[in-house]
């Protein structure tokens, strides 16, 4: 049982560790120090639902609706292109008084963006429903499979809350508009690269 939970934790953590749209957004909000708890809870909670679905065998739905991955790919790429453009436009304007003062967009706008970055990202389904679901198949026993899933879900909560609250360690560096401009340019470029990767 312990082995299954550790395997689940390591698998979940390794899949989520890569820099992606969702992680970049959590990092940015963590730096602004606004809505961090609810944002991290939304991201980790979404992962928990998807991981649970993957372990329970969500792949059956994809078999029933083979066009679903393609539809999600186009929707995700469109959102990433738009969000990347927003970040690049913000960098061009260079108006960061709110961020430097520790303010950001409202709660619902923040959670809405996070939900879109999570649920419109086809890679999150590949990772949680596909890979984690496939790895869980090796555990024939329901108890072991459950413990594996719990381990992967725990990794998601540890990662997002560490990223969200750990970002404040970079706060002293982010006290100038130039630093925020650089961050937004990097995020914008990452978003566009991810969109290109989805479409190619």
**DSSP calls for 40-57:** HHHHHHHHHHHHHHHHHT
Inter-helix orientation angle 107-119/21-32, to 10° = 160
Q: What angle do CA 113, 116, 120 make, to 5 degrees?
A: 155
What is the pLDDT, as a whole number, of residue 157? 96
What is the pLDDT, as a whole number, of residue 57? 72
Q: Which of 159, 153, 164, 160 is nearest to 9 (CA)?
A: 153
pTM: 0.72
Q: How far is CA 174 from CA 35, 39, 42, 184, in A?
A: 18, 20, 25, 12
Distance (Å, rounded) from C-alpha 143 to C-alpha 134? 16
- Report domain extents, the chain: 2-199
The SS3 of residue 95 is coil
Question: What is the token pair recorded at 163?
Answer: 């990223």
Distance (Å, rounded) from C-alpha 114 to C-alpha 90? 18
What is the pLDDT, as a whole number, of residue 18? 60
What is the mean pLDDT of each successive set of 10 residues along the chain, which is 200 residues long?
A: 81 71 84 90 94 76 69 74 85 71 75 89 76 72 86 93 87 75 82 78
What is the pLDDT, as a whole number, of residue 156? 93
What is the pLDDT, as a whole number, of residue 147? 92
The SS3 of residue 165 is helix
């Amino acid at each position: 049982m312990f082995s299954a939970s550790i395997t689940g934790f390591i698998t979940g953590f390794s899949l989520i560790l890569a820099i992606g749209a969702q992680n970049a957004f959590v990092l940015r909000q963590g730096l602004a120090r606004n809505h961090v708890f609810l944002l991290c809870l939304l991201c980790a909670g979404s992962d928990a639902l998807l991981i649970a679905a993957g372990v329970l065998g969500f792949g059956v739905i994809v078999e029933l609706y083979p066009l679903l991955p393609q539809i999600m790919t186009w929707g995700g790429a469109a959102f990433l292109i738009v969000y990347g453009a927003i970040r690049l436009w913000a960098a061009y304007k260079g108006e960061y008084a709110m961020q430097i003062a520790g303010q950001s967009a409202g709660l619902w706008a923040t959670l809405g963006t996070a939900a879109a970055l999570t649920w419109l990202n086809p890679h999150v389904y590949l990772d949680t429903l596909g890979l984690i679901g496939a790895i869980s198949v090796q555990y024939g026993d329901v108890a072991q499979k459950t413990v594996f899933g719990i381990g992967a879900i725990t990794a998601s909560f540890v990662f997002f809350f560490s990223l969200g609250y750990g970002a404040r360690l970079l706060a002293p560096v982010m006290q100038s508009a130039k630093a925020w401009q650089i961050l937004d340019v990097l995020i914008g470029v990452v978003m566009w690269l991810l969109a290109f990767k989805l479409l190619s």
